[in-house]
Amino acid sequence: MEFETVIGLEVHAQLKTRSKLFCGCAVRFAEEPNRDVCPVCLGLPGVLPVLNRAVIDLAIRLGLATRCDIRRKSRFARKNYFYPDLPKGYQISQFSQPICEGGFLEIDLGEGQTKRIGIERIHIEEDAGKLLHDETGAPLSRIDFNRGSVPLLEIVSRPELRTAEEAKAYLRRLRGILRYLGVSDADMEKGQMRCDINVSLRRPGQSAFGTRAEIKNVNSFRFVGLAILHEEKRQARILRHGGQVVQETRLFDSARGITLSMRSKEEAHDYRYFPDPDLVPLEISDEWLERVRDSLVELPDARKKRFVEEMGLSAYDAELLTRERDIADYYEAALAIHRSPKMVANWLLGELLRESKGEGGFDPPVEPRRLAELVALIEGGLISGKIARKVFGIMLTSDLGPRRIVEKEGLSAIADPNKLGPMVEELLESEARNVEQYLAGKTRMMGFFVGRIMKETGGRADPKLLNELLRKALSRRGDSAQGR
């Protein structure tokens, strides 16, 4: 390996609160511009911010879930800069006293491998407004302040990620936790989760970090991967030719799959941070901390472990089932109706997930109850796996339960020996040569016989009974051949 890549991620997650960070304005998505605003979040003179307690609850929740230390006393700071989307001329943030520090996430690298990625800090800050540029190219921009002062958490990883795949695994895990905890919907398409990527290269064995470039505001997992791959190539080319990587902020151009220089660090702002004099210091009492701790739900890692131990699932299946809370909840809801952990997992991860690919996440077209009932029908021998897929297909477009569909469509298994028996006899009569081969030791002919009956019955023959009838009929023929 010529170079080692060092990656650190700064993720902004929009908190799932009803109101903004310092005022009572609603936090909504895609409202008409400038409806959810008031003098406080517009930064008009003379107003005072009042901290939203729910924000602190959510920040603590995430901090506990990622094993951070929770800072019990902290102050908010003003980060000063001028930009049209920031009416106060400063952003209220946490600077030297973040609420959470020193935690970690465990990421899944496939094939049972995991890696622990350190979290340096998690701090609270307010979002800025949104500039809307004229699409006709006219020199005109409008500002929507609905997003102004919406609460964010910034989650800063340690520079412990080494590949684009690890970075994506980290983001998947973080998004899973944010959603599990109800801290954020973390929908990247809606801008509720945004990611800045720090990338640098160094020679293997070198302990000092190389000069890094920061890629701002990447908004999909795929783009994060592509941006890192491009940045690796670009920096390697510079270093290979004896050049120096410039410390700068870059943008990812998704249409071209490349990163572009946005501004060099020399021009970067000096933010002149200082404690916000309008806000009293934040103090988190023991009771407050315990109350939040009590409200924590089971997290993906713990749930995964439980699925492996209690349900006997493979680590791989358990990982897929627990990555998103919705999927894990669905699974457990189905098991509550029919407890068949492996088969329900197979159907959920196979047929159901294939049909549930909403961009916003898991959107199952069939409720847990109907999937569980379908599995119960298979296990009860009423239908075969093949027929079950057909029933599942019908469920996608109707509200009928699987049992009703089986009745209505006449799909129930033929489990009557008086029906199957004669069919077996007839088949073996007409296949005398293959029967001989079977009796001569070619036992895999069994599959051929089963296949023929299944074809004849449209897959409805009860597999267990069919096998039994075939075996009996064949051994009868074997006995009489010997007796001859």
Distances (CA, A) of 123 to 13, 81, 98: 11, 19, 5
Nearest distance in Å: CB 243, Zn ion: 48
Nearest distance in Å: CB 34, Zn ion: 11
> Residues 84-103 vs Zn ion: string with x where CB under 5 A?
--------------------
Nearer to Zn ion, 146 or 322 (CB): 146
Nearest distance in Å: CB 93, Zn ion: 17
Nearer to Zn ion, 129 or 402 (CB): 129
The rounded distance, in Å, linking the Cα atoms of 56 and 21 is 10
Interaction with Zn ion in 57-86: which residues (CB under 5 A)? none
The rounded distance, in Å, linking the Cα atoms of 230 and 259 is 7
Select the span of 37-45, 171-179, 278-286, 424-432 touching Zn ion (CB under 5 A): 37-45
Q: How many CB atoms lie within 10 A of CB 161?
A: 26
Select the span of 27-35, 41-49, 89-97, 295-303 touching Zn ion (CB under 5 A): 41-49
| Beta bridge partners of residue 19, listed in sequence order | 26
Nearer to Zn ion, 50 or 400 (CB): 50
- Contacts of residue 394, defined as CB under 8 A and 6 or more positions apart, other chains included, come to 400, 405, 409
Nearest distance in Å: CB 38, Zn ion: 3
Nearest distance in Å: CB 25, Zn ion: 3
Phi, psi of 452 (to 5 degrees): -65, -45
Nearer to Zn ion, 27 or 156 (CB): 27
Interface with Zn ion (CB under 5 A), residue from 15, 25, 228, 321:
25
Nearer to Zn ion, 61 or 147 (CB): 147
Nearer to Zn ion, 43 or 421 (CB): 43
Contact 162, 6 (CB under 8 A): yes
User: How many chain residues touch Zn ion (CB under 5 A)?
Assistant: 5
Nearer to Zn ion, 124 or 292 (CB): 124
Nearer to Zn ion, 52 or 200 (CB): 52
Select the span of 31-39, 117-125, 377-385, 458-466 touching Zn ion (CB under 5 A): 31-39
Nearest distance in Å: CB 39, Zn ion: 7
Nearest distance in Å: CB 28, Zn ion: 12
The rounded distance, in Å, linking the Cα atoms of 270 and 273 is 9
Write out the two tokens for 263: 């501004």
Nearest distance in Å: CB 149, Zn ion: 6
Select the span of 19-27, 78-86, 352-360, 367-375 touching Zn ion (CB under 5 A): 19-27
The edge-to-edge listing of strands for the beta sheet with 151-157 is 69-70, 100-108, 114-126, 151-157, 4-14, 193-202, 213-218, 248-253, 258-264
Select the span of 18-26, 103-111, 202-210, 441-449 touching Zn ion (CB under 5 A): 18-26
Nearer to Zn ion, 76 or 449 (CB): 76
If binding is defined by CB under 5 A, does position 38 make contact with Zn ion? yes
Nearest distance in Å: CB 11, Zn ion: 25
If binding is defined by CB under 5 A, does position 50 make contact with Zn ion? no
Contact 18, 26 (CB under 8 A): yes
Interface with Zn ion (CB under 5 A), residue from 41, 56, 60, 334:
41
Nearer to Zn ion, 42 or 337 (CB): 42
Interface with Zn ion (CB under 5 A), residue from 23, 226, 313, 395:
23
If binding is defined by CB under 5 A, does position 450 make contact with Zn ion? no
| Beta bridge partners of residue 269, listed in sequence order | none
Nearer to Zn ion, 40 or 167 (CB): 40
Contact 404, 425 (CB under 8 A): no
Nearest distance in Å: CB 30, Zn ion: 18
Select the span of 25-33, 118-126, 284-292, 436-444 touching Zn ion (CB under 5 A): 25-33
Nearest distance in Å: CB 299, Zn ion: 33
Q: How many CB atoms lie within 10 A of CB 202?
A: 16
Nearest distance in Å: CB 153, Zn ion: 19
Handedness of CA 259, 262, 268, 273 (dihedral sign): negative
Nearer to Zn ion, 22 or 252 (CB): 22
The rounded distance, in Å, linking the Cα atoms of 343 and 334 is 11
Which residues contribute to the site for Zn ion (CB under 5 A)? 23, 25, 38, 40-41
